[in-house]
C-alpha cells in the first residue's frame, strides 16, 4: 500500500493489545514502549497520554508512545517515554516512523509545549537537535551461570568472589522486597542530592507487570545491603531501579556481588541478554558499569524545540545545580521523603 493510505490517530485503550504485540515483535521495541509503562506513569504522576498509532487499513503498522508532562519552570512538554530510557517511534518501515514523527511535531507545535523529547536508542539521523548526555550498556549472557564471574574484569571478579565467599552475601528474589528497595533507593538519591521517585511507582510496577518485573535483595545474614528492580522483555533482563546501603560497597562489595549474582540468575531463568540501561557519561554509575566489563553505547535522544530556546539541561551534570544538590543532601530524610514525590513529577 502507498503512504497516502496511512492513517495516524491518537491511541486508545482498545489499541493496547495490538500495540504491545507490535512492540514485542519490533527489533527496536523496548519495555518502555509497552502500554503498561505509560499506564503506570500516568496513574502515579497524574499525567496525560498523547500516544499516536499508525494504521494501513485494519493493520497496525506503527506507534509512538507519548506522555504530556509538566515543565519544571511552567508549561508542559511531550516525552517518549518519561521515567524510561528508551522511546521514539516504531514502524514497519522508515516512512511510517517519519510520518509518526511529523505528526508528533505538529502536535507539539499546536500544543505550544516547551519541547518534544524522543528517547531514541539508535541514531535516527541529523534532522533534530540531540543530546549526548547518556550511554546505555548491554551484552549477551553466557550459557553457563559460572561463566558470568569468569567474564568479569579481574578486579571486579575478585571483589564479587570476595563478597560471596568472605562476606557471605546472598541474592534472593521476591516482590515483597519492594519496601527495602525503595528505602535504599531513597537513601542513595538523598546522598546524590536528587529527589527520589515515590514508593507508589515501585509498587504499581510490581502490581501491573507481575512476572514481567522482579525485585532482588542482597543480604548479609538478615541485613539488607542492596536491592534492584528488573524488567523482563523477551529474552532480555533489564536491571533498572536500584539502591545500596551506606558503606555496603566499601565494606562488603555489595554492588559487585549483586550484579554478578543477578546475571547468574538471569542465565538460570533463560535470559540471553543483560541490559544495564543508561547512565550519564560523567557519572560514577557509568564508570562502575565499565569496570564490570560492559561497553558503553551512546544514546541518541532527539528534541524538537517549540517554546524552549535551548535543549533541557536540568540534570546533575549541570554545574549550576551544585548548590541545590548540596542543600538537598543536608535536608533530613523525613523531609526528603515528603518532598520527593511532588518534585519527581517534574523530573521525568
pLDDT tens, residue by residue, 204-242: 999 999 999 999 999 999 999 999 999 999 999 999 999
Per CATH, which fold does 3-134+300-309 belong to? Aminopeptidase (3.40.630)
Tell me the C-alpha distance between 50 and 78, whole Å. 8
Tell me the C-alpha distance between 83 and 86, whole Å. 9
Q: Which of 92-96, 120-124, 133-137, 314-318 has the lowest mean pLDDT?
A: 314-318
pLDDT at 132 over 70: yes
**pLDDT in the model for residue 4:** 57
Distances (CA, A) of 262 to 20, 190, 217, 228: 26, 25, 10, 9
Q: Which residues pair with 67 in a beta bridge?
A: 49, 79
Please state the φ and ψ torsions of residue 248, each to the nearest 5 degrees: -65, -30
Q: Which of 17-31, 119-133, 158-172, 267-281 has the lowest mean pLDDT?
A: 119-133
**pLDDT in the model for residue 313:** 82
CA atoms within 13 A on the CB side of 243: 23
Tell me the C-alpha distance between 205 and 40, whole Å. 7
Cβ-based neighbours of 254, under 8 Å, separated by 6 or more: 163, 169, 218, 225, 226, 244, 245, 248
Tell me the C-alpha distance between 342 and 331, whole Å. 16
Tell me the C-alpha distance between 179 and 343, whole Å. 20
Tell me the C-alpha distance between 55 and 270, whole Å. 34
Residue 25 CA from chain centroid, whole number: 20
Q: Which CATH number fits domain 142-271: 3.40.50.80, 3.40.630.30, 3.30.450.20, 3.20.20.120?
A: 3.40.630.30
The helix/strand/coil state of 70 is strand
pLDDT at 2 over 80: no
Query: H helices within the chain, ranges in order?
Result: 16-25, 35-45, 94-111, 146-151, 154-165, 178-192, 199-209, 248-252, 254-269, 284-291, 322-330, 333-344
Distances (CA, A) of 145 to 151, 254, 271: 11, 19, 11
* CA 106-111-116 angle, 5° bins: 65
pLDDT in tens, 3-55: 558 999 999 999 999 999 999 999 999 999 999 999 999 999 999 999 999 99
Sheet holding 223-233, edge to edge: 169-173, 213-220, 223-233, 236-244, 273-280, 134-140, 296-298
Fold agreement between 3-134+300-309 and 142-271: yes
Mean pLDDT of the chain: 95
Please state the φ and ψ torsions of residue 67, each to the nearest 5 degrees: -135, 135
**pLDDT in the model for residue 1:** 43
Average pLDDT over residues 165-176: 96
Q: Where are the domains of the chain?
A: 3-134+300-309, 142-271
Amino acid at each position: 500500500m502507498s503512504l497516502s493510505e496511512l492513517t495516524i490517530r491518537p491511541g486508545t485503550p482498545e489499541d493496547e493489545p495490538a500495540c504491545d504485540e507490535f512492540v514485542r515483535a519490533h527489533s527496536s521495541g523496548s519495555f518502555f514502549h509497552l502500554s503498561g509503562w505509560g499506564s503506570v506513569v500516568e496513574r502515579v504522576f497524574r499525567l496525560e497520554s498523547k500516544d499516536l498509532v499508525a494504521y494501513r487499513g485494519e493493520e497496525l503498522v506503527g506507534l509512538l508512545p507519548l506522555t504530556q508532562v509538566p515543565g519544571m519552570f511552567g508549561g508542559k512538554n511531550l516525552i517518549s517515554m518519561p521515567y524510561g530510557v528508551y522511546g521514539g517511534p516504531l514502524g514497519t518501515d522508515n516512512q511510517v516512523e517519519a510520518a509518526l514523527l511529523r505528526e508528533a511535531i505538529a502536535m507539539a507545535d499546536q500544543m505550544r509545549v516547551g519541547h518534544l523529547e524522543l528517547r531514541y536508542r539508535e541514531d535516527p539521523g541529523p534532522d533534530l537537535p540531540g543530546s549526548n548526555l547518556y550511554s546505555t550498556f548491554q551484552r549477551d549472557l553466557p550459557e553457563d551461570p559460572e561463566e558470568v564471574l569468569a567474564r568479569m574484569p579481574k578486579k571486579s571478579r575478585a571483589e564479587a568472589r570476595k563478597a560471596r565467599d568472605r562476606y557471605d552475601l546472598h541474592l534472593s528474589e521476591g516482590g515483597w522486597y519492594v519496601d527495602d528497595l525503595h528505602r535504599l533507593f531513597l537513601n542513595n538519591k538523598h546522598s546524590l542530592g536528587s529527589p527520589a521517585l515515590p514508593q507508589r511507582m515501585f509498587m504499581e510496577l510490581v502490581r501491573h507487570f507481575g512476572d514481567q518485573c522482579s525485585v532482588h535483595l542482597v543480604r548479609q545474614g538478615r541485613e539488607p545491603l542492596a536491592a534492584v528492580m528488573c524488567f523482563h522483555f523477551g529474552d532480555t533482563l533489564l536491571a533498572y531501579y536500584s539502591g545500596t546501603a551506606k558503606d555496603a560497597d566499601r565494606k562488603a562489595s555489595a554492588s559487585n556481588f549483586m550484579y554478578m549474582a543477578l546475571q547468574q540468575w538471569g542465565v538460570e531463568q533463560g535470559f540471553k541478554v543483560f541490559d544495564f540501561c543508561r547512565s550519564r557519561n560523567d557519572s560514577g554509575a557509568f564508570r562502575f558499569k565499565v569496570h564490570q566489563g560492559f561497553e558503553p553505547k551512546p544514546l541518541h535522544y532527539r528534541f524538537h524545540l517549540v517554546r524552549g530556546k535551548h535543549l533541557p539541561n536540568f540534570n546533575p551534570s549541570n554545574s549550576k545545580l551544585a548548590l541545590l544538590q548540596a542543600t538537598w543532601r543536608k535536608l533530613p530524610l523525613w523531609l526528603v521523603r515528603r518532598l520527593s514525590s511532588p518534585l519527581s513529577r517534574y523530573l521525568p
